[in-house]
A and B are shown apart, each in its own frame.
Chain A
C-alpha cells in the first residue's frame, strides 16, 4: 500500500472538533460562540466584542479543565481521534520522507510506518506506530496494533540506520501488539523480544517519543533508546487501564481507578525516573493545535539529538546499557 496523501490535510481544519465527555462545558460554550458567529455575519449590530469575550472564556475554561485532568481523562486524550499521529509528525517536523515498506519475509504491516527522512536537513531514519483517522483507515492500520512483520520491518529500518550511521527517531502510539491468531503463529513474542535486544545494542543514537498511547510490549518494541520523551497528555503503561481493571477488579468499570494507580501519565513517569522528559502540549491538548505541538516537539528533538551526537558511540552505548539495566525498584538485604 502506498503512502496516502490524505495525511497532509490538517485534521483540525478538515474535521469538526470532537469533544470528550469531560469537555462538555467547553463544547457548550463553543456551540454558543459558533451560533453568535453565524448571527454576526448577517447582523447589523456588532457583537464581535461578545464573541471575543466568550472566546477568552472558552480558553480559560479549557485551561482550567486541562489543569486538573485525572489519569483516566489523560488516557482518553491520548486516544483522542484528532490527536496528531506518526505520519502527521513526520510531515510536520521532517522533510524528504521516503517511506520504506515491508519486512522482506512476509508482508508490509501498515500499523507501523517508517523510512528515510531529513531532520533539519540531516538524514535520519524515522519509525512509528500508525493509527487511522476514519473507519476505513482505522481498519487499514489495524488500529495501530502491529503484527510481527511490523516489528520486523522496524528492525530492518533500525539496521539501516545503524549501517549508514543515521540517527533514529521513533514515535510510539499503539494500544498494544495485535492479539490475533496469525500474529501468534508468526512469532509475535520473538519479534518483540528481538527488537528489545537489538535496540539495546544499536550503534546509532535513538530518540523515542511517546505521542499517544504507549501500550505495553507492543509499544516498547520500538521504544528502547537513549532518550525517552513523552508528550504531556500521552500515556505509557504495562497494561491498559481497562485490562488491569478487568483482571484485578474483575470489571472494566474500574478503569479510572486502575489508570490512577498504574502511574501511566508523563509527569508521574518522569517523577518515577522512568522517562527523561515531558514535552508540554498546547492548551487543551495537541489535537487542538497541531502546528504548535510540531514546533515544540521539534525543538525538543533537536536538543536531544544535539546532546547525543556530541558523544562517541561507545560511550553512548555504555550509557544506554547502564540506563536500561537501572530500571526497577527493589531493596537489598544482607544475605542471612
Chain B
C-alpha cells in the first residue's frame, strides 16, 4: 500500500544494510557515524580518522596519535616496563586477568596509557596518550604509574608534559587502587608546577569519570577535540538521576567551551601545530617553523 508520503520520499536504496554488507569486502568502506557518508577506509585513515565530508572525529589509537604528533626521530617510550597485575583477584562474569589478556590481544598494548618522550615540531616534550580500546581507557595502577613516570621524565629533563585523554574513568577491577590513581596522577603535577614546566591537557572522546575528575582539568592549558564527550558523570546516570531530558549537545566539547570549562577546541588535523605553538610560548622558545 503506497501512501502519498511514500510517493514523496526518494526511493529507498539503502534499505537492506545486512545484505549489502556481505557484498562488499569487509573493512574497505566505512560509514561516517555522524553524516553517514560512505568513505573509503584509506581516505579516512589518511585524514587522521576525521570524516573528510563533515569533520566528525572518530577514535584514534594511542600509537596512531603518537605517530602523528611526535617527530619521527628521537622517541623514547617511558614506563613500558610497568605492567598490570590483579591485586584483588577480581572476577565478575570474567576474570580480570582474562580481560587484560583479551585487551592485549585486541590492541597490542599492555595497558591503557602509552607514554613517549620526543618532540613536537622540534619542541621537545613528553607525551602521554590513552588507548581507549584497552578496557575503555580505564585508569588502574599501571596507567597511574606510567603517568607519574612520564611526568618525572619531563621534570628531570625540563620538558613540557602533554596528555591526550580518552577514558571511561577509573578501572573497577582494581578497586580503591584505581580510585587512588586519581590522587596520584594529580599530586605529581605539583612537581611540574614547582619547576615551572607546562602541562597541556587534550580531552578527546570520551573523557569521563575518574580521569576527567583528576589530572585532566588541572592543566595550564586545556584543549578538546570537536564533539568530544567530556564530563564527570555519564549522560545515562545523569538522566536516571534527574529524570529529565539532557540539553542538546550536553557534555560535548562545544558545550564545555561556552561554560568556560576549557580553553579551546582544536581540530585533530591542527593539533600538532597548536601544541607546538603553545609549548613554545610557555617554554619561552622561538615560534616553531610552520
Contacts and interface: CB of A to CB of B under 8 A. Distances in A.
Interface stretch (A122-130, A243-251, A281-289, A296-304): A243-251
A274 B177 contact: yes
Interface residues of A, number: 55
B187 A261 contact: no
Interface residues of B, number: 63
Interface in B227-246: 230-234, 237-238, 241-242, 244, 246
B160 interface: no
A56 to B, nearest CB: 38
Interface string A250-268: 0000100110011110000
A324 B187 contact: yes
B187 A262 contact: no
Contact of B210 (A190, A217, A247): A217
A169 B214 CA distance: 22
Interface in B145-174: 145, 148, 170-172, 174
Contacts of A325: 148, 184, 187-188
A67 interface: no
Nearest to A221: B213
A200 B174 CA distance: 22
A331 B86 CA distance: 10
A216 interface: yes
B181 A327 contact: yes
Contact of B214 (A193, A248, A274): A193
B142 A330 contact: yes
A263 B176 contact: yes
A262 B88 contact: yes
A60 B92 CA distance: 36
A188 B233 contact: yes
B145 to A, nearest CB: 6
A334 B175 CA distance: 27
A236 B176 contact: yes
Nearest to B247: A181
B183 A220 contact: yes
Contact of A334 (B81, B244, B250): B81
A261 B250 contact: no
Contacts of A224: 183, 187
Nearest to A184: B231
A197 B190 contact: yes
Given A181-B247, A262-B175, A238 B187 contact: no
B84 to A, nearest CB: 6
A178 B237 CA distance: 10
A196 B186 contact: yes
B209 interface: yes
A208 B165 CA distance: 30
- Across the A-B interface, the 6 shortest Cβ-Cβ residue pairs: A328-B141, A179-B233, A200-B187, A248-B92, A327-B180, A329-B87
Interface of A: 177-181, 183-190, 192-194, 196-197, 200-201, 216-217, 220-221, 224, 236-239, 244, 247-249, 254, 257-258, 261-264, 269, 272, 274, 321, 324-325, 327-335
30 contacts: A181-B244, A188-B232, A189-B213, A189-B216, A193-B186, A193-B213, A193-B214, A196-B186, A197-B186, A197-B187, A197-B189, A201-B190, A220-B179, A224-B183, A237-B176, A258-B92, A261-B88, A261-B92, A262-B175, A272-B175, A324-B184, A324-B187, A325-B188, A328-B174, A328-B177, A328-B181, A329-B85, A329-B87, A330-B142, A333-B81
